[in-house]
């Protein structure tokens, strides 16, 4: 099933990504692919349990959609792939044979809860960033610069230069990125176990695509990639197999107001419901 907005710039494909990548997406038409697949760690996504019988089965499944992603990627396109810390080494070896890896990124976040008591708990997720053609690809360095926490803050002079200058106050981020995870109280929160932050996708999309480019997310979840693409003037295609998440995408992208006759509404959070009740009884 295919849905699109009135401009035709944002497309939602409902179904299995391997089948839809193959059938619905033109070869070499995609400028940027962001892939955040199930991690094979037993998470529950609506009706789908993210666990394969063996690691080998899981890897073979990953290779089959990765192969299609390479086929759909524009000759000057870029791909960002997320995976679990235990799987990423295998995918890294596979990717090296097909694309040019430019960065191995760590998305680091903090957690108020206890991660592990008897070993060092995991507080990061790896992201591999690669391109088809290392001599020609998009990288908008000026759109993603961050404040440099070096000398410029302390107003130091960089004497390594022939003519000493103050340190640059902004720089291209390194490969360790800190973004808070999406929390219940955040405006962007949707009901999904592994929703990615808009800020993370914004950095990727601004860096590796231009206005009007098409961005593909084959495991769209809450359609974060498409929502950010829409905000920054790119086109998007998101594929998702679970109906609950398709409904989130349709609402988040403003594609339709109703689904099967029911209004698509963001559910109120518990504290919003409590507040609403307080408002109702205010004059009692
Ligand atoms: C890690 S989540 C993606 C989260 C997403 N990046 C976000 O920000 O919300 C992976 C998603 O892949 C979906 N999925 C699993 N198998 C699929 C398949 N064969 N085809 C399409 N989507 C699938 C799951 O339902 C889940 O929502």
Q: Tell me which residue range forms the domain holding 160.
A: 140-174
Are 123 and 150 members of one domain? no
Whether residue 34 is found in the same domain as residue 149: no
Global pTM value: 0.93
Our CA dihedral for 169, 149, 174, 84, rounded to 10 degrees, sits at -140
CA of 42 to the centre of ligand 1 (A): 13
Q: Atom 26, ligand 1: which residue's CA is nearest?
A: 221
Instruction: Compute the distance from residue 218 Cα to the ligand 1 centre, in Å.
Output: 8
- Which pLDDT belongs to residue 208? 98
User: From CA 3, how far away is CA 24, in angstroms rounded?
Assistant: 12
pLDDT, mean of residues 37-53: 92
- Residue-level pLDDT at 112: 73
Ligand 1: residue whose CA is nearest its atom 27: 221
Q: What is the pLDDT of residue 152?
A: 63
For residues 102 and 24, what is the distance between their CA atoms, to the nearest angstrom? 29
Contacts of 172 by beta carbon, 8 Å cutoff, 6+ apart: 141, 144, 145, 146
DSSP H or E stretch at residue 211: none
Ligand 1 centroid to residue 221 C-alpha, Å: 4
Mean pLDDT of 257-266: 94
Q: How many domains does the chain have?
A: 2
DSSP letter at 224? H
pLDDT value at 269 more than 90 = no
pLDDT at 157: 79
Please tell me the predicted confidence (pLDDT) of residue 153.
Answer: 65
Query: Treating both helix axes as pointing N-terminal to C-terminal, what angle do 88-96 and 55-72 enclose, rounded to 10 degrees?
Result: 40
Q: What is the pLDDT of residue 166?
A: 79
Specify the pLDDT at position 212: 98
Domain ends where: 174, 190, 218?
174
Same domain (yes/no): 100, 240: yes
CA of 238 to the centre of ligand 1 (A): 10
Q: Both 150 and 127 in a single domain?
A: no
Mean local confidence (pLDDT), 143-157: 79
Q: Which of 22-36, 117-131, 154-168, 270-284 has the lowest mean pLDDT?
A: 270-284
* Domain-ending residue, one of 154, 174, 194: 174
Confidence (pLDDT) at 11: 98
Check pocket membership of 40 for ligand 1, CB cut-off 6 A: no
Same domain as 151, residue 40:
no
188 and 258 housed in the same domain: yes
Are residue 167 and residue 57 in the same domain, yes or no? no
């Amino acid at each position: 099933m295919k849905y699109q907005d009135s401009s035709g710039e944002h497309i939602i494909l409902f179904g299995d990504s391997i089948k839809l990548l193959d059938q619905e997406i033109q070869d070499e038409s995609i400028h940027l692919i962001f892939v955040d697949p199930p991690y094979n760690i037993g998470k529950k996504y609506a009706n789908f349990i993210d666990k394969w019988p063996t690691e080998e089965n899981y890897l073979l499944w990953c290779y089959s959609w990765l192969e299609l992603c390479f086929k759909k990627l524009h000759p000057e396109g870029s791909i960002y792939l997320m995976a679990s810390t235990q799987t990423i080494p295998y995918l890294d070896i596979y990717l090296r044979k097909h694309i040019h890896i430019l960065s191995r990124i760590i998305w680091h976040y903090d957690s108020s809860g206890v991660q592990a008591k008897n070993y060092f708990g995991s507080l990061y997720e790896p992201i591999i960033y690669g391109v088809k053609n290392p001599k020609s690809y998009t990288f908008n360095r000026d759109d993603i610069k961050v404040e440099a926490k070096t000398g410029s803050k302390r107003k130091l002079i960089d004497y390594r230069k022939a003519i000493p200058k103050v340190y640059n106050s902004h720089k291209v981020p390194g490969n360790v990125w800190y973004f808070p995870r999406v929390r219940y109280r955040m405006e962007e929160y949707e009901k999904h176990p592994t929703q990615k932050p808009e800020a993370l996708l914004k950095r990727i999309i601004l860096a590796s695509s231009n206005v009007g480019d098409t961005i593909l997310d084959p495991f769209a979840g809450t359609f974060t990639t498409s929502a950010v693409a829409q905000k920054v003037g790119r086109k998007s295609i998101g594929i998702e197999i679970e109906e609950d998440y398709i409904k989130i995408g349709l609402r988040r992208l403003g594609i339709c107001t109703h689904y099967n006759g029911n209004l698509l509404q963001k559910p109120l959070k518990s504290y919003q419901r409590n507040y609403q009740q307080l408002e109702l009884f205010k004059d009692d």
